[in-house]
Structure 1
Amino acid sequence: MEKSSEKNIFLLLFIYIVSTLFICSKMSPLYITNEWADPNIYFNVAKGMVNGKALYTEIFDHKGPFIFFIYATGYIISNTNFFGMYLVEILFWYLLAISLYLSARLYLNKVSSFLITLPFFVCIVKIMKAGGSAEEFILCMEGISLYLYLKYFKMENPVHKPKYMFIHGILVTAVMLTKINLIAFWFFPLLAIFLNILYHKEFKNFYINIIAFILGSLVIAIPVIGYLYTHNCLEEAYKIYIELNSAYAKLGSPRKIFFRLLGRILYLFLEPTCLFLLGFMGIFLFPFKYINNLFERWGLFLAAIILYIAIFMGKFQYYYPIPFLIFGFVGFIYLGLFLKKYINNVNFYSNKPYIIFILFFLFTSAGISGLDNTRVEAWILKDDNYGRKALMTMRLKKEIMKEKNPTLLNLGFGLANNLFTTCNIVPNIKYFVTPNLSYKFYPQMRDEQLQYIKDKKTDFVIIQQYIPGNGYYDDKNPIEVAQKLKYNPILLENYKLILTDSIINCIDERSVDIYFLYKKKK
C-alpha cells in the first residue's frame, strides 16, 4: 500500500512537470518556436555537429561542449523544431522533481514532501526566460546530488555507497563541461563526504569512492573529449572554453569583487520568495537547526556561499541565479519542518491528495499565465495567421524561405538566431551568429564575418540595431555598431537591403530591435 501510494505521487509529479513545461517552456509544442537567442545557438551548433561540422573549429560558440551534446539529443529526436528538446526538458525536470521530493521525504511525510515540491517549480518558471538555458539543466543535476548528499548523512551508520559517488562523478563532469564555474556547488559537499569517510576510518571505502567518482567522470569525459579529439578540435576547445572564457570573466580587484557581491544581494529579489526568503532559510537556518553532523552542516552551508560567489561575482544575466534556487528548496524543507509542529491533523490532506493536486495545479496555472515568458496567446496560430506576438521574426522568415536551401549570417545577437531553426538552415560558416563577445575582446569573430560578406559565403545577412544598445558591442568601434555596419562598403558592394523590420522583443527585457535583412547580389 505504501509503495502504491508513492507510485501515485511519482505519477502526479510527472503530470505536473509535463503540464508546467507545456505551458511555461517555449520548447513546448504549445508555442510555434522558442525565439530566445541562447537555445537557438545551442540547437544550431548541435545541428552543425550532427551534420558533420567540428565544434569550435568549424562551428562556434564559447559555451562548454556538453550543452551541445544535450541539444544534439533533442535535434536527433526532432530536427525541424524544439519538440525533441521539450522531451529532454521533461526528463531533466522530472528527475529534479523526484530528487527534491525524495530529499524532502528524508524529513517530512509523503504529502508534505509532495506539497512543497510543487511550488518550487513556479519559482523556476519566474526567472527562466523562455526555457532551455544551461542553468536549468545544471539545477536538475544539483537536485540529484543534493538528495544523495542528504540521504548519506541521514543514515544511522552511514557507509557511502560507491554507486552514489559514481553518480556524483557523472554530474560534476557534465557541469564542468557545460559551465565550469558552477561546479562550485559540489566542492564542499563532496569534501564533506570524503572527510566523513576518513573520520570513521573507512579507508577502503574512501579509495573505492575515489575510483567510483573517476569512473563516473569518465562516462561523460570519454565521449565528449573523444569527440573533440577525433574531430581535431580538442586544442581549440581548450582555447575557447577555458582560455577565452577565463579572459572574458576577468573580475577586477578584490575590493571591486567584494562590493559587487554585496550589491548583488539585491538580485536575489528577482524571485524574492525562493532566492531570498527561502534561500536564507535553506542556507542559514536549516543546516544549523536540523543537521547534526558537522561535516554535513558545513558542507551544505559553504556550498551555498561559494555558489553565490561563483554566480554573482562576474558578468550577470537575470537567469544566472537559477542554480542558486536549489537552496530555496532546502528552505522549503525548513518551512515544512517549522509548520509540522503546528499541524497535528493531516488526515484530510492524506486522504485527498488528488483534490489538493488539482487545486494546486489550477493555482499554478493561474499564477504563471501572467508571466512575460508564457505568451499563451501564441498558440493555434498557423501560416498566414501568425500574429506579431506568435512569431516575431515571421516577416524575416518568409523572405528568407523564398530562397531554396538558404544560408544565413546573423551579425547581431537576439531573435534572429531563431531563423536558423525556423528556416531549418544548417550553418555553413563558423561564425554564423554573433555571441555576446565584443569586438574589442574578440576581434577575430567580426573580422571573419566581414570576410564571409566579402566572399559572399551566405545568401542572407542580418544586422540588428538595439534601442537602446544592450552593451554587447563597443559603441565606439565603427565595424561594431549597426548604424555604421550597414554602411560598410564591403556589405554594400556584395549585398542589397531587402527588408527592414522593427520588433518588440518580449523575451529579452522587452527591448525594441530593428532588423535589416540583406540578400546577396547576383
Structure 2
Amino acid sequence: MNKMNWRAYKLDIINNNVRRNWLSKIWLGVLSVILSFTYSSNPIISYDDQHDGSMFYYFGRIMNQGLHAYSDAFDHKGPLLFYINAWGYPSVFGIKIMWIIEIVSLFVTLLFIYKTACYFTHILISHVITLLSGIFIVYVMYLGNLSEEFALPFISLSLYIAVSYILHKCRKRSEWLYFYLFSISGTAVLFLRANMVSLWVSTILLFIVMTIYKHQISYLFNRILVVGSGILTVIIPIVAYNLIIGTFRDMCKR
C-alpha cells in the first residue's frame, strides 16, 4: 500500500469512527428521552409523586418564591439537590425544566456507561449493556428526582475516568483535565448526598499509595493541586452563595 492509499485508508477509518460515535450518541439521546417518560416530571404521562421526589420539588417551589433551603425548610440532603429542583421548578410551554434536566442527567449516565463498556467488549454488546443499565436505572429511581439519580452522571463519568487512567487511555496532554473533572464530580456528589463519596475517597487513596510506591512525588503533588482546584471550583460558589443569603450555618448543621 503506497503512502497516498495509506493516508486515505486512515482517513476512512477516522470518518467511520466519527460517524459511529455520532450515531451512538443519537441512539443514547433517543433512549434517554424514551426512558424519561417513567419520571413524574414528564409532560405526557401523569403519576402520583412519591415522597422523596415531591418533597425535593417542594424545596424548588419555595426557593422560586424567595425562601431558602435550610433556614425556611430543612432536610438533611446536600444543597446541590435543592438548587437542581429550584432550576427545574419553572415550566416552559407546559414542559417542566426538571424533565429536561433529568433527560440530560440520564443521557450523560448512559453515555459514560457505554464508553466504559466499549473498553472491554464489542460495540453492539456495549449498546446492550447500556440499554439494560438504563432500564435498571429508571426502575430503581422510581419516578425520578432523587439524589442518587443526579449523582449517577458524576459516578459514571468518574468510573470512566478511573478506568481510562488504569488502562492508560488518557492522553498525557489532557490527563490533568481527567483529574480536574474527577474531583469536580466527587465534590458535586458530596453536596448532593455526602454518604456516596466512597468511590472518590478510595480511588484517591489508591492513587496516592501507587504514586508514593513508584516514588513519583512531584507528579503526586502536581495532581493534588489539580484535584484541589476542582474541589474549590464547586465549594467556593456554594459557600459564597450561602454566606450571601445567610444560610451557611444552617447548611453546615445538616
Question: TM-score, normalization: structure 1?
Answer: 0.43
1:236 paired to 2:236: no
CA RMSD for the aligned pairs? 2.3
Gaps of 5+ in 2: 1-15
**Given residue 11 of structure 1, which amino acid in structure 2 is its aligned partner?**
I
1:13 paired to 2:1: no
Cα distance change of structure 1 residues 25 and 174 upon mapping to structure 2, 3 Å threshold:
same
The answer on whether the counterparts of 2:164 and 2:170 sit within 8 Å (CA) in structure 1 is no
**Given residue 29 of structure 2, which amino acid in structure 1 is its aligned partner?**
F
* Partner deviation per Cα, 1:154-189 (whole Å, 9 max, x = no partner): 017986922111112211111111211111222112
In 1, the alpha carbon distance for the partners of 2:187 and 2:17 equals 36
Report deviation, 1:92: 1.0
Q: How does 1:356-371 map to 2 (within 5 A)?
A: none
Find 2:165's aligned residue among 152, 170, 176: 152
In 2, the alpha carbon distance for the partners of 1:39 and 1:71 equals 9
* Partner deviation per Cα, 1:5-59 (whole Å, 9 max, x = no partner): 121111111111111112x112111223652222222122123223322321123
User: What is residue 287 of structure 1 aligned with on the other side?
Assistant: none
User: What is residue 118 of structure 2 aligned with on the other side?
Assistant: 105
* Partner deviation per Cα, 1:211-238 (whole Å, 9 max, x = no partner): 1112111222122111211111111111
In 2, the alpha carbon distance for the partners of 1:223 and 1:75 equals 21
Find 1:116's aligned residue among 125, 129, 132: 129
Report deviation, 1:98: 0.9
In 2, the alpha carbon distance for the partners of 1:17 and 1:110 equals 18
User: What is residue 210 of structure 1 aligned with on the other side?
Assistant: 224
The answer on whether the counterparts of 1:55 and 1:228 sit within 8 Å (CA) in structure 2 is no
The answer on whether the counterparts of 1:41 and 1:61 sit within 8 Å (CA) in structure 2 is no
Find 2:59's aligned residue among 45, 48, 73: 45
Q: Which has the larger radius of gyration?
A: 1
In 1, the alpha carbon distance for the partners of 2:41 and 2:103 equals 10
User: What is residue 223 of structure 1 aligned with on the other side?
Assistant: 237
1:65 paired to 2:76: no
1:142 paired to 2:155: yes
In 1, the alpha carbon distance for the partners of 2:219 and 2:63 equals 41
In 1, the alpha carbon distance for the partners of 2:169 and 2:47 equals 50
* Partner deviation per Cα, 1:415-434 (whole Å, 9 max, x = no partner): xxxxxxxxxxxxxxxxxxxx
SS of 1:161's equivalent in the other structure is helix
User: What is residue 168 of structure 1 aligned with on the other side?
Assistant: 182
User: What percentage of aligned pairs have identical amino acids?
Assistant: 24
SS of 2:89's equivalent in the other structure is helix
More strand by share: 1
Report deviation, 1:99: 0.5
In 2, the alpha carbon distance for the partners of 1:196 and 1:157 equals 17
Find 2:102's aligned residue among 72, 89, 108: 89
Q: Which consecutive aligned stretches of 4+ in structure 1 deviate over 6 angstroms post-superposition?
A: 79-82
Cα distance change of structure 1 residues 135 and 157 upon mapping to structure 2, 3 Å threshold:
closer
Q: How does 1:44-443 map to 2 (within 5 A)?
A: 44-76=58-90, 78=91, 83-155=96-168, 161-239=175-253, 241=254
The answer on whether the counterparts of 1:47 and 1:72 sit within 8 Å (CA) in structure 2 is yes
User: What is residue 44 of structure 2 aligned with on the other side?
Assistant: 30
In 1, the alpha carbon distance for the partners of 2:157 and 2:223 equals 17
In 1, the alpha carbon distance for the partners of 2:165 and 2:215 equals 16
In 2, the alpha carbon distance for the partners of 1:212 and 1:81 equals 42
Cα distance change of structure 1 residues 45 and 156 upon mapping to structure 2, 3 Å threshold:
closer
Question: TM-score, normalization: structure 2?
Answer: 0.85
The answer on whether the counterparts of 1:34 and 1:82 sit within 8 Å (CA) in structure 2 is no
The answer on whether the counterparts of 2:56 and 2:145 sit within 8 Å (CA) in structure 1 is no
The answer on whether the counterparts of 1:66 and 1:177 sit within 8 Å (CA) in structure 2 is yes
More helix by share: 2
In 1, the alpha carbon distance for the partners of 2:238 and 2:192 equals 11
The answer on whether the counterparts of 1:45 and 1:61 sit within 8 Å (CA) in structure 2 is no
* Partner deviation per Cα, 1:471-510 (whole Å, 9 max, x = no partner): xxxxxxxxxxxxxxxxxxxxxxxxxxxxxxxxxxxxxxxx
Number of residue pairs the alignment of both structures matches: 238
